[in-house]
A and B are shown apart, each in its own frame.
Chain A
Amino acid sequence: MSLWVDKYRPTALDKLSYHAGLSTNLKKLAASGDLPHLLVYGPSGAGKKTRIVATLREIYGPGVEKLKIDLRTFTTPSNRKIELHIVTSNYHLELNPSDVGIYDRIVIQDMIKEVAQTQQVDTNAQRKFKVVVINEADALSKEAQHALRRTMEKYMANIRIILCCNTTSKIIAPIRSRCLLLRVAAPSTDDITQALQAVAKKESLKLPHPLAQRIADASERNLRRAILMLETARVQQYPFSEDQAVPLADWQQFIKTIAQAMLQEQSPQRMQQVRNNLYELLTHCIPPSLVIKSLAFELINQVDQSLKTEISHQAAFYEHRLNSGQKPIFHLEAFVAKFMSIYKRFLMEMYG
């Protein structure tokens, strides 16, 4: 049994429920028989991957859905062995080079060159090119991107590259100018409620509209999160009631309680306790950047108007530090301490 998110993922361009304009354009691209390199960007949960897979299916037919997972080993110049999982079908392959950190350049060079240099043997194949999908392209190092740049031009006859990323800021300009940019905006709350209703219908559940609306609001325009929430709600209580609590992900709940703790008391003891909580989050593999972001938004929402600017500034400052620094816990703690000091001063000025 698979999750609803995967089970009801549309596989054809016709079945995509929103961004109709984009779908027709993609269909035209697929029908024209030729594909430029694509750079698909947008916030997470907007449906970038779904659109890529649907486009591939439109180009190659249902064969692209027969996937297998390979474990490939690459050797670095310093003779270190690195391993990477690669998802392949007969027509395309998908990889996530940023998994191997600074060695991503080697993966790009070896893997893509290997694919690029082998031509399609089957002369009856619909297309002469294979597609390489690179996920999280914004996490690629600059060197890897430069290596890609040359590959993209040189092997244009044999491969097309589809880059999938959250933001184009970290993609170097030469790559951007070689790709067709496709922006996938996050779905509106209406789009999300419709999608939720569609899923509920297929599962033959009755989903009251107000609940769907509340789930959509809580999902922060992230369709994947919304559907996961719906499934959790189904497990918690069925039949649905209109005023049922919208289940948040565990880590979100946890961050909420941390924020509450920080607002209640500002003391070294509380700091110690918050530190343990933060460690808890980090050991559960919640990205530190996401932790500080959610925590900051939570806090900013609750503090006095006069403090909001200051807190958002501090959050941005420490998040930047966290990204350039080595050990995330330092910066998380620094932010917590800073917040406590600002907030305590504010309280003392207010109430004496």
Chain B
Amino acid sequence: MSFFTKPTKAKATATVRAKDDGHDRPVPWIENRPRSMTDVSAQEEVVQVLRKCLESQNLPHLLFYGPPGTGKTSTILAMTRDMFGPELMRSRVLELNASDERGIQVIREKVKNFARSTVSQNDSGRSCPPYKIIILDEADSMTSDAQAALRRTMENYSKITRFCLICNYVSRIIEPLASRCAKFRFKPLPVEQSKAKLAYICGQEGITHEAGALDQVIDASEGDLRRATMFLQSAHRLYTNQALTAPAIQEIAGVIPAQRIAELTSAWQSKSYEAIRTAVDQAVWAGFSAHQIISQVHDAVIDGAQWTSLQKAQLAQLMGAVDKCLSDGADEHLQLLNFMMQASKLVA
């Protein structure tokens, strides 16, 4: 079972066209989204409910939430395409995402004007619902003022306009907005499904991969199919005509080899400053980012059997403090050294 089925056809033509132009413009593989609701095969429950809505031509305001790369944007785009067809889509759908200016000013002018404009004439001959759709992608990055400005707009023009808010964290959407929408939760994709999809992409693009490489891709992308696809594409560019290996994927994803993490954690046991200093120096000189180190050490600690629950809790607290300092822009070398020294005091 694959998440997107048809898009490959579209992609194949796109690449061909690119070649014809003599244009070396790459087509991001991720832009091959499903064209129609029938193509969206994951997220069964959500899709089923939305199909029902489509049949009755009556749609509530929608709020999609879930982790990145689970198909939220793809689903709504496929749905609007089904509803309006490719031509009408242009006049009936307004899509705004975080890279567009979305302060309160824009909500008051652009969104409101679009919302209250009359529904464009339908002369394509297909039956389509008599309203427009405004998609606010990454809505959790909107300021709460901007969100508040939306409240009345949503109600006033609900006859001719439907809103679809898309976000990662439903808690960042103010309550009055959330209560006006039908909420849909998008689950992270099951590993088998993402793996099947990645294997499918590999097949289409002619990528050979060693055993374990795809697992590494899924692991590094943390269940985000978009990131996984990006990794595949970068890896393909960098290692053209070579079989993909797990270490190659790690390098591209910026993941630190498990062995290096083990070196760091084992340095705690030694309790000696010199051993810790060498381990830290090695890690810093190798160019790994401290954030990545901390987060991977964190994973290692949580899974590790050699620490007691109390130690794990204390370590977690410590990591939180260090992470905060790092985000504030503190020096990585000093922070890491401090973290390692403190951890060694806690553990040994």
Query: Which residues on A are within 8 Å of B, measured CB to CB?
Result: 25, 28-29, 32-34, 36, 41-43, 46, 127-129, 146, 149-150, 153, 156-157, 167-170, 176-178, 180-181, 183-186, 221, 289, 292-293, 296, 300, 305, 308-309, 312-313, 315-317, 319-320, 323-324
Interface residues of B in 292-348 (CB under 8 A from A): 292, 325-335, 337-339, 341-342, 344-345
Q: For the complex, is B289 an interface residue (Cβ under 8 Å from A)?
A: yes
Set of chain A residues within 8 Å of B234, measured between Cβ atoms: 36, 180-181
The 6 closest A-B pairs by CB, nearest first: A316-B338, A42-B287, A150-B99, A186-B285, A320-B330, A169-B291
> In the complex, are the beta carbons of A36 and B290 less than 8 A apart?
no
Interface residues of B in 24-45 (CB under 8 A from A): 24-26
B 206-241 to A, binary, CB cutoff 8 A, 1 in contact else 0: 000000000000000000001100100010011110
A23 → B minimal CB distance (Å):
12
Q: With A316-B325, A317-B338 given, can you name 17 additional A-B contacts, CB distance below 8 Å?
A: A41-B287, A42-B287, A43-B285, A167-B290, A168-B254, A168-B289, A169-B290, A176-B254, A180-B234, A180-B252, A181-B234, A181-B254, A186-B286, A312-B341, A316-B338, A319-B331, A320-B328
B96 → A minimal CB distance (Å):
12
Q: Would A312 and B334 be within 8 Å (CB), given that A41-B287, A320-B328 are in contact?
A: yes
Query: Considering the chains assembled together, what is the distance between the CA atoms of A168 and B98 in angstroms?
Result: 22
Which residue of chain A has the shortest Cβ distance to B253 in the bound complex?
A: A181
User: Which of A34, A292, A319 touches B24 (beta carbons < 8 Å)?
Assistant: A34
Which residue of chain B has the shortest Cβ distance to A309 in the bound complex?
A: B341
Q: Would A183 and B23 be within 8 Å (CB), given that A169-B290, A319-B331 are in contact?
A: no
User: Which of B328, B339, B344 touches A323 (beta carbons < 8 Å)?
Assistant: B328
> In the complex, are the beta carbons of A167 and B334 less than 8 A apart?
no
Query: Considering the chains assembled together, what is the distance between the CA atoms of A10 and B252 in angstroms?
Result: 25
Set of chain B residues within 8 Å of A185, measured between Cβ atoms: 285-287
Q: For the complex, is B169 an interface residue (Cβ under 8 Å from A)?
A: no
> In the complex, are the beta carbons of B333 and A293 less than 8 A apart?
yes
> In the complex, are the beta carbons of B330 and A323 less than 8 A apart?
yes
Number of interface residues, chain B, beta carbon within 8 A: 48
User: Which of B254, B272, B288, B331 touches A293 (beta carbons < 8 Å)?
Assistant: B331
User: Which of B328, B331, B341 touches A289 (beta carbons < 8 Å)?
Assistant: B331
Q: For the complex, is B273 an interface residue (Cβ under 8 Å from A)?
A: yes
> In the complex, are the beta carbons of B290 and A316 less than 8 A apart?
no
> In the complex, are the beta carbons of A186 and B237 less than 8 A apart?
no
> In the complex, are the beta carbons of B99 and A34 less than 8 A apart?
no
> In the complex, are the beta carbons of B329 and A323 less than 8 A apart?
yes
Set of chain A residues within 8 Å of B333, measured between Cβ atoms: 293
Query: Considering the chains assembled together, what is the distance between the CA atoms of A205 and B251 in angstroms?
Result: 39
Q: For the complex, is B160 an interface residue (Cβ under 8 Å from A)?
A: no
> In the complex, are the beta carbons of B238 and A29 less than 8 A apart?
yes
Set of chain A residues within 8 Å of B337, measured between Cβ atoms: 312, 316
> In the complex, are the beta carbons of A181 and B331 less than 8 A apart?
no
Q: For the complex, is B148 an interface residue (Cβ under 8 Å from A)?
A: no
Query: Considering the chains assembled together, what is the distance between the CA atoms of A43 and B273 in angstroms?
Result: 22
Which residue of chain A has the shortest Cβ distance to B329 in the bound complex?
A: A323
Q: For the complex, is B178 an interface residue (Cβ under 8 Å from A)?
A: no
Set of chain A residues within 8 Å of B227, measured between Cβ atoms: 177
Query: Considering the chains assembled together, what is the distance between the CA atoms of A221 and B344 in angstroms?
Result: 26
> In the complex, are the beta carbons of A169 and B328 less than 8 A apart?
no
Interface centre among B230, B287, B326 (most CB of A within 10 A): B287
Interface centre among B239, B327, B330 (most CB of A within 10 A): B330
Query: Considering the chains assembled together, what is the distance between the CA atoms of A42 and B237 in angstroms?
Result: 21
Set of chain A residues within 8 Å of B287, measured between Cβ atoms: 41-43, 46, 183-186
User: Which of B25, B226, B329, B344 touches A157 (beta carbons < 8 Å)?
Assistant: B25
B287 → A minimal CB distance (Å):
4
Q: For the complex, is B284 an interface residue (Cβ under 8 Å from A)?
A: yes
Which residue of chain A has the shortest Cβ distance to B339 in the bound complex?
A: A316
> In the complex, are the beta carbons of A156 and B25 less than 8 A apart?
yes
Set of chain A residues within 8 Å of B327, measured between Cβ atoms: 169
> In the complex, are the beta carbons of A34 and B26 less than 8 A apart?
yes
> In the complex, are the beta carbons of A167 and B25 less than 8 A apart?
no
> In the complex, are the beta carbons of B251 and A183 less than 8 A apart?
yes
Set of chain B residues within 8 Å of A308, measured between Cβ atoms: 273, 341
B235 → A minimal CB distance (Å):
9
Set of chain B residues within 8 Å of A183, measured between Cβ atoms: 251, 254, 286-288
Which residue of chain A has the shortest Cβ distance to B233 in the bound complex?
A: A36
